[in-house]
Amino acid sequence: MSYLCKAYNLIIMKKAIIIGASSGLGYEVARLLLEQGWTLGVAARRLEKLEQLRDTAPEKVQTQVIDVTSDDAPAHLQELIDKVGGMDLLFYASGVGNQNMELEPDIELKTVNTNGLGFARMIGAAYRYMAAHGGGHITAISSIAGTKGLGAAPSYSATKAFQGTYLQALEQQANMRGLNIRFTDLRPGFVATPLLGDNPKYPMLLDTKKVAREIVRAINKGKHVHVIDWRWRIATAMWRRIPRWIWRRLKVK
């Protein structure tokens, strides 16, 4: 795509829906898109933080409570789209993650329900909307955790691999159907957000605001897959080359 075509798309694509906007990367990306002139529909399970965001630009922000694990979540997404007047961009930042060395069933099943079923439910709803309304741009945060199965977080790494594969499959399907739907799979390393809990001790921990800025740049450039940041691009490239018989002996957390 030429520079002029990209610039034209940025001018006309000004209505974004953000799912998971009440904290962390969803909240920070929402603030950046507002600065760029987007009209937003923001959604999460908690209304209080969404209202704080709306108060910063009441004429540009609509809110909606959405629980992605609920069967009625697609209907609430459509309500939010109607409030905004359309959806050119979906930014999906909803998710849960925990280390689970004891393989507690509640943690595993909650993670699969949210990151697997909830993801497919909402990305699918957005895809169907865009297929029926001339196209758009679906962007979602998966994770570098989907690169390999991580023993410390089995369901988390598995569902993140699912997310990346699901987006790849939809990208191929959209091309097969001649749909004008673009995709950006965003794969940050460990980010200092509430998802990691209090006082997280993870390697190469990333700053939330810096990651949000890189996410917006990747969206604006129409990246297909973007690993954040350069250190994690090197790390995950190395992970992919490690044979399975070696990987299972490593202690990766």
Q: Can you give the pLDDT at residue 140?
A: 96
Q: Indicate whether 154 pLDDT > 50.
A: yes
Q: What is the rounded CA–CA span in Å between residue 209 and residue 158?
A: 27
So where are the chain's domains? 13-247
Q: What is the rounded CA–CA span in Å between residue 171 and residue 223?
A: 12
Q: Can you give the pLDDT at residue 2?
A: 45
**What is the share, in percent, of the chain residues with pLDDT greater than 70?**
89
- Rounded to an integer, the average pLDDT of 150-173 is 95
CA distances (Å), 173 to each of 1, 85, 142, 183, in order? 20, 26, 19, 11
Q: Can you give the pLDDT at residue 206?
A: 78
pLDDT tens per residue, range 191-230: 665 554 444 566 667 788 899 999 999 999 999 999 988 8
- In this prediction, residue 175 has a pLDDT band, given cuts at 50, 70 and 90, of very high
- pTM of the shown model: 0.89
* CA angle centred on 107, ends 106 and 109, rounded to 5°: 65
Q: Indicate whether 83 pLDDT > 50.
A: yes
- In this prediction, residue 138 has a pLDDT band, given cuts at 50, 70 and 90, of very high
Under 8 Å CB-to-CB from 75, ≥6 apart: which residues?
Answer: none
Q: Indicate whether 10 pLDDT > 80.
A: no
Mean predicted lDDT score pLDDT of the chain: 89
Under 8 Å CB-to-CB from 247, ≥6 apart: which residues?
Answer: 148, 239
Alpha helices, DSSP H only, in 115-248?
Answer: 119-132, 154-177, 208-221, 230-241, 244-247
CB 35 within 8 A of CB 61: no
Under 8 Å CB-to-CB from 15, ≥6 apart: which residues?
Answer: 38, 39, 41, 84, 85, 86, 87, 88, 89
Q: What is the rounded CA–CA span in Å between residue 71 and residue 90?
A: 19
> Which amino acid is it at 43?
A
Q: Can you give the pLDDT at residue 7?
A: 47
Q: Indicate whether 4 pLDDT > 80.
A: no
- Rounded to an integer, the average pLDDT of 161-189 is 96
**What is the share, in percent, of the chain residues with pLDDT greater than 90?**
68
CATH fold for the domain made of 13-247: Rossmann fold (3.40.50)
Q: What is the rounded CA–CA span in Å between residue 83 and residue 79?
A: 6
- In this prediction, residue 190 has a pLDDT band, given cuts at 50, 70 and 90, of confident
pLDDT tens per residue, range 36-45: 999 999 999 9
Q: What is the rounded CA–CA span in Å between residue 144 and residue 232?
A: 8
CA distances (Å), 178 to each of 89, 133, 170, 172, 222, in order? 18, 13, 12, 10, 18
CA distances (Å), 52 to each of 42, 64, 107, 196, in order? 11, 13, 30, 23
Q: Indicate whether 32 pLDDT > 90.
A: yes
Q: Can you give the pLDDT at residue 202?
A: 62
